[in-house]
Structure 1
Amino acid sequence: MPWAELEAFLDTDRYIDRYGVPDAFHGHFSHEMSIRTHFGDSVVYPHILAHQRRAVKGGGNEYGASLLDVLARFRHAGATDARDKVFGLLGLCSDTLGIQSNYSLSIRDVYIDCSVKLIKHHGNLDLLCQGPWELLGNEGRNPELPSWCPDYAHAGESRILFAQRDIYASGPELPQVPFAILSSGALVLDGFAVDDIAVVRGPVGADTIPGPPFSPGVQTALLWMPDSLLREGIDQGHDDLASFLKYDNVPSRHCHTDNRLEEYWRTLTLDCMRMPSRRLREKELVTLRGVFQRWLVAPFDSYLTSFEDPGFTETKISFTGSGSGDFDPLHAAYHGWHFAVSRTGLYCMVPRVAKPGDHIAVLPGAKVPVLLRPRDAHSLTFEWVGACYVHGFMDGEALQPNNGIAKGRRYEIA
């Protein structure tokens, strides 16, 4: 079938107008899950080719033909030689960043060189913090690669915080990220040590759920909730919350807002509205403080429509994950993120592969904090775990003098 007829059948232009073109941070059909579910690869792959044809014909500016965009767009495509997941796509890029095909190089050397050039070109660590390639936990990943380097031949399942680039600004924004690559392939940066993870609340299993009258989403929020917050509800007369007590020693500290419950629900929500994702505004925080205080006494589910709804202040909160409104407290949880508490009591949302002992760091060029895993108890070398949300450290607080927690240090990430 001629391409013109195929694109007419796919109605490519209309879909681009509606969903945009997939790039380094947006999947095909953007957030429209129904299309991906019902049609799957039979529609996705022809559209990928159609998008790339637009990029090539249009010079790449409008449709995204940067090296990072092209690598991401074709990350699930096959290649007989894994080096062609970089070399084989160079002809489609508007800028190859000086990469030249050289098959005398190993896969490891090709991928490290490509990643280094991308970091230098973009001047940030988005490739690692928000990239579409899964790092730790990727079963198909090449074991010869450093933990921080994407395996361009095995994308895995990346679970980025958000596609938007400007929601958070935890690390220093610099024209160039100051880093070094050792002969071992280790990435060396000077950053800020924030804390270590003490407790991770993993996925909620059926055997741990107390059951009715609480909906599954509410059960997750209560099972993750620290005992100190549950006791607030119990003290206000909601004795049913006692079934959610864990009787563990979750660290506590003086919080940023003088309201520990607020820190909890703002952590679950990643401090954001959706979709498109954006930070909560002060007028919304004022409303939600009252809503969540009432919810703790009567934590049941009902639909939330919109902050523009005049009856919003009378509306309870939906933990259904149905996307019925513009505020979904468990959106991150439904996408594989887990709640965690640091040793000093910071509330966090962390990747599913996180575990106690993982180290929270703020790095130059990283818009979000990251988790690093010490190689051993006494090692100064770390492995990359992934990006995370740490309440109170998403807007450059680690850079402020006398913040009481973060300390400057050097990281060697193997």
Structure 2
Amino acid sequence: MTGKVSTLSTMATDVPDLYRSLDSSIPEIRLFALEPAQTDEGAIVGHLQNVPLSSAPAYEALSYKWGKPVYSEPITIAGHTVLITPNLAVALRGLRLRDRQRVLWIDALCINQESLHERAQQVSLMKDIYSRCVCDLLWLGPLSEPETQSWTPSEEIMGQGFELMRRLVDRDMTVLNPMMKEWKDHEQMKEKWRASYHSTDDNLDNQLAGEQAAVGEGGQPGSQEAHEKSQDKDNNAKRQAEKEPRGDEMEDTGTRTGSDIQDCMLSSDEQWALESAFGRPDVLKRLWVMQELSVAPKVQLVAGRHKLDWDVVSEFLGDTPYADAFHGTFSHGTVGQISYWIFEKVQVIDHQRRILRQEGESKLLDVLARFRRTNCLDPRDKIFGLLGLVTDHKEIKVDYEKSPAQVYADVTASLINRSGNLDVICQSPWTSSQDYRRLAEASLGNLPSWAINFLADGEIELFAQRSIFNAGRSSCEVPCRRVGEDILVVKGVIVGRVGPILQDDYTHDGNGSALRWRYDTSTHIPLDWMRLYLNHKQVLDKGSTDQYITGESSFTAFWRTLTVDCAVWPMARLTSQQIQDQDTSLRENWSQFLDGVTDEGTNKSNLHREYFSAPEIQRMWNRLYTQWSFSTTTNGLFILIIPPTREGDFIACLDGAKLPVVLRPVQDGSLQTFQIVAVAYVHGIMDMEATQSSELRAKLGLQDQEFWIV
């Protein structure tokens, strides 16, 4: 053994013979042979070997959380001492066999991390490496990072989650009957509350479940962060279709089919066990693991000495009616389906596995969006780490010589060229209330405003799917025209300029957190906004001749703007009958509230919680009001905007963009350029009126022009 101690990040330089060059023409990979040990405390010993990928000996792959790049745990490789991360050391000790070698492929050990060329070459082989392994071992824990120990589920709790999952898949009635009784009791109590208080279902779930154990996302029930996350998850659960009528509860006579199972309420302990095993492990947030788990022929979840085959999880998730029957109580007492809360992370992985098994189309945009809430150290790996799952865009190559900004701009341009439109910009799943140009400056260098920041999680709910809107022309120029690396040239028409934004809680500095607390004031927001921007008494007057640019009344245009002229679920444009019915009831109801309007604002006590009489329209309003804000343009258009839009920004309908885009002028010497800031809803121009209606174009003085976007 040499006296020199190396780390994973330096051992290729310190000990050159450890990493013999890989022959990329074959191609070759390295495998790590982990030597056996009789005790967990024994030294970790192994050696690396170069082998042809096509004829490699049987090996298992390891997926685990890297953790922080702190190299403190010694192992011995071919007689040399190398320091590795604590998490890897714990996993190797847990996986080490007593009586024979275990041959593994481990990215941190088997790729020379100092060589950009080798990294790029091996990354391009990742799909083949994992698809050829015997099994991918997903190490959930235990972990060995002191700063995360208090948040990391114990090995025993994860083991309980494994066992509960097995029993759920087996339809074990000793487990299911108590769960079904708990749900039945919950529903009976809800009926009592409904009879006593005439509350809505949403309020009842909050009231009733508040008495039950609720575990938030951060392990702190009732925290603001947990509440915000629970709102998103519960919204997802409420969107699912109505289930078939349930049958009577049956005696515990053995196994039953999914169609026989009634809704079930998990206890707090059961919920915590499942969340610990399938929702909480940090490794499920690691981007590289997504490809590994998606392509491996077999996956085994490992929590210390506890193991569970992925097929068990897949069987549960794949039986949708059965999986959707299980409910849990979450932060702030909300009740939701566990398949859309606890299993969100494993569900997206299982979706990808099923797509690949069925040899279906796996588009780049879909894959990037599916795994956008995963983490990686190198921003470029948000793209490179997922290319092995993609069946299109073969022109994108792994190239670590490019900067992250270059990679993101090239991928955005490739997506535009392939689709022939600007959906990736104006309907981006990565849309955030943060100023993404400023975010880019912190982590990506000079990212153009038109390029997608693939590091963003995405916070703003989209509302233009399935071509509900078509504000701009249907297609754009392709291949897209770029001037140098940073400028994208597009065509379109400016429809207006954002006027004063009058809401006190609106900030254009990229911080939209204040808007999230609007649920406390949701009962009077519409009238307050009407009071801020319009002559509300005149607008509500049935005899008013006040008209919007479309020819309809300003009142009708106002409330249709608040709901982006849509209803949910499923999401669809409002019909003429819905508009007529809602317009009549709204005008009558809102007029009754005028006595509560003072110079200080609307009196909350005079308002009912549900503004819109049609539930599908009320749900649309509920979906939007905490993120979007009403305003007007200087030429009188009604708009719905998000931060960081600010007064003075232009709103344009670009060719190929289904939604209007907010543009901010940037003077670069004598060159007039623009930044893309956000998207917007503009009432009356969401169906190509800005390009096809000669009457509207003449009325607003609209002209086509070219935009240089930086």
TM-score (norm 1): 0.77
Give CA deviations for 1:128-178 in whole Å, capped at 9, x if unaligned. 1111113652464334210111122x2243414326221111111137557
- Partner AA of 1:216 in structure 2: T
Contact 2:499 2:631 in 1 (8 A): yes
Query: What residue in structure 1 maps to residue 706 of structure 2?
Result: 410
- Partner AA of 1:390 in structure 2: V
Q: 1:264 to 1:18 in 2, by over 3 A?
A: farther
- Partner AA of 1:362 in structure 2: C
- Structure 1 distance, partners of 2:337, 2:415, is 29
In structure 2, the gaps of 5 or more residues are 1-307, 325-333, 507-519, 594-605
Q: Which of 633, 639, 643 does residue 342 from structure 1 map onto? A: 633
Q: How does 1:153-232 map to 2 (within 5 A)?
A: 154-162=455-463, 164-174=465-475, 177=478, 179-202=480-503, 204=505, 216-225=521-530, 226=532, 228-232=534-538
- Partner AA of 1:407 in structure 2: Q
Secondary structure class of the residue paired with 2:500: strand
Secondary structure class of the residue paired with 2:428: coil
- Partner AA of 1:317 in structure 2: F
Report how far residue 298 of structure 1 moved: 1.3
Contact 1:201 1:339 in 2 (8 A): no
Query: What residue in structure 1 maps to residue 346 of structure 2?
Result: 46
Q: 1:194 to 1:336 in 2, by over 3 A?
A: same
Query: What residue in structure 2 maps to residue 263 of structure 1?
Result: 557
- Structure 1 distance, partners of 2:541, 2:367, is 56
Contact 1:177 1:365 in 2 (8 A): no
Task: Please tell me whether residue 73 in structure 1 is matched to residue 370 in structure 2.
Answer: yes
Report how far residue 381 of structure 1 moved: 1.1
Give CA deviations for 1:61-101 in whole Å, capped at 9, x if unaligned. 4xxx2100100111121223221211111111121341111
Task: Please tell me whether residue 297 in structure 1 is matched to residue 587 in structure 2.
Answer: no
- Partner AA of 2:494 in structure 1: A
Q: 1:219 to 1:190 in 2, by over 3 A?
A: same
Identity over the aligned pairs, expressed in percent?
Answer: 30
- Structure 2 distance, partners of 1:333, 1:156, is 18
Secondary structure class of the residue paired with 2:559: helix
- Partner AA of 1:259 in structure 2: S
Q: 1:120 to 1:284 in 2, by over 3 A?
A: same
Query: What residue in structure 2 maps to residue 326 of structure 1?
Result: 616
Query: What residue in structure 1 maps to residue 403 of structure 2?
Result: 106
- Structure 1 distance, partners of 2:321, 2:398, is 32
Q: How does 1:302-317 map to 2 (within 5 A)?
A: 302=608, 317=612
Contact 1:170 1:367 in 2 (8 A): yes
Q: 1:15 to 1:232 in 2, by over 3 A?
A: same
Q: 1:229 to 1:174 in 2, by over 3 A?
A: same
Task: Please tell me whether residue 124 in structure 1 is matched to residue 431 in structure 2.
Answer: no
Contact 1:140 1:156 in 2 (8 A): no
Q: Which moved more, 1:43-52 or 1:222-231?
A: 222-231
- Structure 2 distance, partners of 1:36, 1:233, is 42
Task: Please tell me whether residue 284 in structure 1 is matched to residue 578 in structure 2.
Answer: yes
Query: What residue in structure 1 maps to residue 99 of structure 2?
Result: none
- Partner AA of 1:282 in structure 2: S
Higher helix share: 2
Q: How does 1:363-378 map to 2 (within 5 A)?
A: 363-375=654-666
Highest relative contact order (Cα 8 Å, sep 6+), 1 or 2?
Answer: 1
Report how far residue 285 of structure 1 moved: 1.4
- Structure 2 distance, partners of 1:84, 1:260, is 49
Query: What residue in structure 2 maps to residue 396 of structure 1?
Result: 688
- Structure 2 distance, partners of 1:123, 1:16, is 38
Q: 1:203 to 1:56 in 2, by over 3 A?
A: farther
Query: What residue in structure 2 maps to residue 209 of structure 1?
Result: none
Report how far residue 276 of structure 1 moved: 1.6
Query: What residue in structure 2 maps to residue 245 of structure 1?
Result: none
Higher Cα Rg: structure 1 or 2? Answer: 2
Give CA deviations for 1:366-387 in whole Å, capped at 9, x if unaligned. 0111111112599721111111
- Structure 2 distance, partners of 1:16, 1:125, is 37
Contact 2:420 2:478 in 1 (8 A): yes
- Partner AA of 1:114 in structure 2: V
- Structure 2 distance, partners of 1:263, 1:331, is 18
Contact 1:340 1:350 in 2 (8 A): yes
- Structure 2 distance, partners of 1:186, 1:38, is 43
- Structure 2 distance, partners of 1:376, 1:228, is 34
Q: 1:105 to 1:197 in 2, by over 3 A?
A: same
- Partner AA of 1:54 in structure 2: R
In structure 1, the gaps of 5 or more residues are 20-32, 206-214, 237-251, 305-315, 319-323
Contact 1:337 1:349 in 2 (8 A): yes
Give CA deviations for 1:246-305 in whole Å, capped at 9, x if unaligned. xxxxxx98531241111100100101111121111111111122112212311365577x
- Structure 2 distance, partners of 1:177, 1:117, is 10
Report how far residue 235 of structure 1 moved: 7.1
Secondary structure class of the residue paired with 2:647: coil
Q: Which moved more, 1:158-167 or 1:179-188?
A: 158-167
Query: What residue in structure 2 maps to residue 312 of structure 1?
Result: none
Secondary structure class of the residue paired with 2:526: helix
- Partner AA of 2:343 in structure 1: V
Matched residue pairs, number? 354
Report how far residue 56 of structure 1 moved: 1.1
Report how far residue 117 of structure 1 moved: 0.6
Secondary structure class of the residue paired with 1:231: helix
Query: What residue in structure 1 maps to residue 435 of structure 2?
Result: 137
Report how far residue 3 of structure 1 moved: 1.4
Report how far residue 55 of structure 1 moved: 1.4
- Structure 1 distance, partners of 2:676, 2:706, is 14
TM-score (norm 2): 0.46
Secondary structure class of the residue paired with 1:395: coil
Contact 2:417 2:480 in 1 (8 A): no
Task: Please tell me whether residue 5 in structure 1 is matched to residue 312 in structure 2.
Answer: yes
